Amino acid sequence: MDNEQENTDGLKRQIQIKFRVTEAERDMIYEKMRLLNTNNIAAYMRKIAIDGYILATDYSDLKAVAAEMQKIVVSFRRIAKQVIGTTKIYEQDFDNMERGIEDIWRLLRSSLSRAR
Concatenated DSSP letters of 15-80? --------HHHHHHHHHHHHHTT---HHHHHHHHHHHS-------HHHHHHHHHHHHHHHHHHHHH
Q: What is the pLDDT along the chain (116 residues), one digit of tens a residue?
A: 344 444 456 778 888 899 999 999 999 999 999 988 899 999 999 988 988 877 777 778 788 888 888 888 887 787 777 777 776 777 777 787 788 788 888 888 887 777 66
